[in-house]
Structure 1
Amino acid sequence: MRRLLSLSLLLLLPLLVQAQNVTWYISPGRSLAFIKPACSEEDLLRDYGNWNVERTTIPLDGASVPATVLFPHDDAKRVVLLWHDDAARRQLKAAILRGNHSFWRLPGNVTLGTPYRKLVETNARPVGVSAFGEQGGVQVSDWQNGQFARFGRFLDVRLDGYPAAPVNGKSRPLTHNTINEIRVFFPEPK
């Protein structure tokens, strides 16, 4: 019996590992994996159930904003959704990812926790950054005509920590900064 159980576990192990390699692709301004930009909170409740959809308000740039959290109990799946129509909570306006890791991915497998160097590599050009916030942080301010420039105003990427301060007049690279917030925006429906 013990051998049978061990053999069963060995056979199931690849499936368990594979289940953790979930990838949900984001195309800023166009799509959020399986979530349609024309959806509503009501659609999400119908499709994913009460346990996976939470109505809330979030702090955003100094204000409280009405939001819907999809998969609130799973950090890797969690995404905060903002709406063009706040009252009816419909027509996706933005999706916000925060934290250290996520199943949600931008092109080039860029996601939460991606190091600054990989972000620059994937962009295929240097990126301009600026400091923001009282707790410190770095926001990409210019994609320098790289791969992510095509998303324009539909993509906002933020990294942890302050930009490296110049030493003896020379700036240092952002070697230890990683992505800790991704904001993806969607156009207002016509």
Structure 2
Amino acid sequence: MNRGLLLACIASALACACSPAPQPAPAPKPQATPAPVAPPPVPPKAEVAPKPVAQPETWELPGGLGPLTTRRELDARFGKANVREDTFAGAEGIGTYPALVIFPDDPRKRLELVLDADDPDAPIRELRVRSTDSLWHDASGLRAGMSLAELVALNGAPVSFYGLGWDYGGTVQDWHGGKLANAVGDPLFHRVTLSARKDADDAALPAGDATFRSDDAKWPAIGKDLVVDELGISWPSDGDE
């Protein structure tokens, strides 16, 4: 080996010994964990007013109905579809009169509100029930369909009535001072009409334009064979007795 090559090798070795060792690459720094994002605040629930609860019908008369009850009030209470205008013939074929009929197609709920034929804006004149299986009754328990015997017991006294078979037949004329008597000054007037029970023997029942008493021994079957066929409740006008 010549002297020049030897010197070159020595110089190269010295250069390598003096050079710093390569440093390893720095480890990557861990990424910071992002802070959790808070959910947006939930707005408070708006308070909802409770829906009005319809009161169950008690079927008691007059039950809040009165002469000044309006058509709008009737529609709100019973439903507009359940209030119908109608016209009825008067007794003995004399004239006609208007009425509003509540639940006209349901015999048990049907109620007729008789109006003044001469004044369409006049107040209601009478509440009338004409179904013997009606749900309607008054506060005393008076109802259509009860027997004459039950009516007398409720009244606490005999009653007098017209004989059957004509337009005013069966109408109670005298309560003889009983609980159902229409005394002057009373806020309500009761009108009751009797008729024969469906399977009754008409020959055993009083008829004609005459007055009969419920306690008349000549008619022993009337207590069970006569029933309240029609019930009317009205508000006496000035001058009514």
Q: TM-score, normalised by structure 1?
A: 0.72
AA matched with 1:156: R
Match of 1:158 among 178, 189, 193: 193
1:171 equivalent to 2:218? Answer yes
Structure 1 unaligned residues grouped into runs of 5+? 1-20, 27-31
Tell me the percent identity: 25
Task: Give matches, 1:1-190, under 5 Å.
Answer: 23-26=58-61, 32-61=62-91, 62=93, 63-84=95-116, 87-134=119-166, 137-150=169-182, 154-161=189-196, 164-165=205-206, 171-173=218-220, 174-175=222-223, 176-188=225-237
The number of residue pairs the alignment matches comes to: 162
Structure 1 pair 41/84, CA: closer, same or farther in 2 (3 Å)? same
Q: Which has the higher strand share?
A: 1
AA matched with 2:219: R
Structure 2 unaligned residues grouped into runs of 5+? 1-55, 197-201, 208-215
Structure 1 pair 133/68, CA: closer, same or farther in 2 (3 Å)? farther
Structure 1 pair 186/36, CA: closer, same or farther in 2 (3 Å)? same
Q: Choose between structure 1 and 2 for higher RCO, CA contacts under 8 A separated by at least 6 residues.
A: 1
Query: Structure 1 residue 160: deviation in Å?
Result: 0.8
Q: Could you tell me how far apart the structure 2 residues matched to 1:85 and 1:64 are? A: 7
Q: Could you tell me how far apart the structure 2 residues matched to 1:66 and 1:102 are? A: 22
- Which entry has the higher C-alpha Rg, 1 or 2? 2
Q: TM-score, normalised by structure 2?
A: 0.58
AA matched with 1:130: Y
Instruction: Name 1:18's counterpart in structure 2.
Output: none
